[in-house]
Amino acid sequence: MLCKSKQPKGDNSNTPIRVANDDGVTTRRGASKESPPEKVESLPVNNAPDRLLNDDIKVLISEVRQFKEEMRATRKQMEELSQTMSRLNDRVDACDVRIDALCDRVSSLENRVMDGAGVEPIDGTLRHTIHQLKTELNERDQELLLNDIEISCVPEQKGTGLTHVVLTLANKLGVPLMEQDIVSAVRVGRPPGPEELVSPGATSTRPRPIVVRLTRRALRDQLLQAARTRRGATTEGTGLSDAPRRFYINERLTRTNRQLFRKARDCGRRLNWRFVWTKDGRAYARQHAGKDAPRHRLQSEEDLIRVFGKDVVSSLEV
């Protein structure tokens, strides 16, 4: 026979809890409900590579579009360049046509000149006009030299004042000349080289002429007249440390007149003409004294041929 306690059952909350075993089941008494499962948090997904790939695709698409735009612009420029080249070729062709026509005209004119058909009157007029203009220019240049004289064959020495030399030569010819009457006095031409001077105080073997500009034309005329009157005067007594030499005073001529006068003088010598001279820059020639010998004015090469003959003038050039 079983014995039962007559006391009622009490609270068993003070009963210690048993540790769960390996199967996850607790041995706590009265625990009939299962514990809820633990919540597992989801890890974030890494989408960075996808975003980078999308950005690269967008950049590539933008570059392709830009390249297409550049290709369209380049194609347009090439079309415009092609049109420009086409217009340029047309202009070159037109220039070629004009040049060919000009060459034909020049050839035609050359043939006409060679044949002497229709060109000689025009050419003669132009030659006459050119000759007249040259003559007028030469005469005006000569007028600027009307106060000048040229002294030649005066020994050239270093350290000698040309003004003093000119004054001494003028006094020797009997023309009282003062220093204030001389505007300038210089030697013209190529200066002598060292081989042309024997010693530091020696003279040049080929002295350069002295060009003197005077203040008045009357003084020039007096010196020219005195030089003609006292032809053969020398440098003796002028203070030049050299053997006495004959000097000459003449008008100063332009280059054209000087060359013309030289040819006229050579022609006169060959034909034994007695007088060939200059006056106021103009060249004259006269065969001999007497009324039956006219005075000829020489202004050009044609005048030399007319006065002395073509054969004599041509022989000077040989």
pLDDT, tens only, 256-310: 999 999 999 999 999 999 999 999 889 999 998 888 889 999 988 889 999 998 8
* pLDDT at 122 exceeding the cut of 70: no
* CATH number, residue 245: 3.30.70
- Residue 130 — φ and ψ, nearest 5°? -65, -45
Q: Within this chain, do residues 216 and 262 fall inside the same structural domain, yes or no? A: no
Q: Within this chain, do residues 176 and 243 fall inside the same structural domain, yes or no? A: yes
- The pLDDT tens digits of the residues spanning 58-87 come to 888 888 888 889 999 998 888 888 888 888
For 74-123, the three-class secondary structure string (H helix, E strand, C coil) is: HHHHHHHHHHHHHHHHHHHHHHHHHHHHHHHHHHHHHHHHHHCCCCHHHH
- Indicate the pTM of the whole model: 0.55
Answer yes or no: is 89 within a domain. Answer: no
> Does 195 or 317 have the greater pLDDT score?
317
Q: Within this chain, do residues 269 and 182 fall inside the same structural domain, yes or no? A: no
Q: Within this chain, do residues 159 and 191 fall inside the same structural domain, yes or no? A: yes
> Does 44 or 267 have the greater pLDDT score?
267
Identify any residues that bridge with 187 across adjacent strands, giving them in sequence order: 210
Q: Within this chain, do residues 244 and 154 fall inside the same structural domain, yes or no? A: yes
Q: Within this chain, do residues 275 and 208 fall inside the same structural domain, yes or no? A: no
- The pLDDT tens digits of the residues spanning 16-29 come to 555 445 445 554 54
Q: Within this chain, do residues 154 and 228 fall inside the same structural domain, yes or no? A: yes
Q: Tell me what pLDDT residue 189 has.
A: 84
> Does 109 or 145 have the greater pLDDT score?
145
Residues above pLDDT 70, as percent of the chain: 75
Q: Residue 301 is part of which domain span?
A: 255-316
The average pLDDT across 135-158 equals 89
Answer yes or no: is 267 within a domain. Answer: yes
Answer yes or no: is 46 within a domain. Answer: no
Q: Tell me what pLDDT residue 252 has.
A: 93
Q: Tell me what pLDDT residue 200 has.
A: 46
Residue 231: strand, helix, or coil:
coil
